Amino acid sequence: MGYSATTGPLPAITCLPDDWWDPAWQAVQSPGVTGLEPVICATRGAAPQTPAPVPAPSWGQVLATTVGLWRSRHLSWLRRRLLAVAALGAGLVAIAVGTAGLVLSAAPAAPPVPRPAAIPAPSGQAVRPASLATAPQPARPVWLSVPTLGVRTRLVYLGLNKNGTLQVPASTAVAGWFTGSPRPGAVGSAVIAGHVDSHTGPGIFFWLRTLCPGDRVYVGRADGTMAVFTVTRVRMYAKDRFPTAAVYGPVPDAELRLVTCGGVFDRSLGRYLSNVVVFARLTG
């Protein structure tokens, strides 16, 4: 039996018919060949093979997979948000600092301390310079008056601290006479000290720096007499360059030194960096 149709490319056969194989045909065409199988491919409509069952993942695997997916999706987003929050915080801090500076710079300065009104000069028996050579030791000073500054205060007595520095009055409202110096009116430099201010307000010598040559200073004594001094000069000295000899040293006549703090106040040290010294001479 032959094939008489026009020859040409044969159609691709994906699966032979179920009954194509004939043992007799095999014996004639391929004598002595055995082992051919009657089935070359799976029969159409045959049931598919069931795959081997896959075991279910453990809870640890599920958790690890979930965390990995969350990190891959959200970690970069979280980093961007944290950087944005940090930048925003830094900006807010800079704005707050700038605003505080503007507020402080715009805040009104503390009102200036008004200069006190002048007071009348004290009256009483004054010691004349001509009597210094023959006058006995003056009585102790008990009060001080500076009429142009509106100052009249009692005097306390001051000594030296353990480190050799001059003591200061315990109160800012009074001045003190250094007992290691001559009594006012005696030959030498009598020294009277007082505070310039405190955290509560001006001290007794707040306006001392404004004295001028020619102003008068009165010192009353325990015996009812007083010494009258005339200002000759006013100076400011850095504390580390204080002229000890000029302030405390010997002089040939009766003089007076009024001492207080002044200059710049160093908040880190809690003190002024300079001293104001008023030099005066006994005039009557």
Angstrom distances, CA of residue 177 to CA of 15, 146, 184, 230: 132, 15, 9, 18
Alpha carbon distance 50, 21 (integer Å):
29
Q: Which domains does the chain have, with CATH numbers?
A: 125-282 (2.40.260.10)
- Predicted pLDDT of residue 41: 46
Q: What is the pLDDT of residues 85-129, one digit of tens each?
A: 777 777 776 676 666 655 555 545 556 778 888 888 888 777 666
Residues with pLDDT less than 50, the chain? 2-6, 10, 13-14, 16, 36, 39-43, 107
pLDDT in the model for residue 40: 45
The pLDDT of residue 42: 47
pLDDT attached to residue 31 = 62
CB 193 within 8 A of CB 260: yes
pLDDT at 3: 44
Residue 160: φ, ψ to 5°:
-115, 145
pLDDT for the residue numbered 104: 52
pLDDT over 70 percentage in the chain: 67
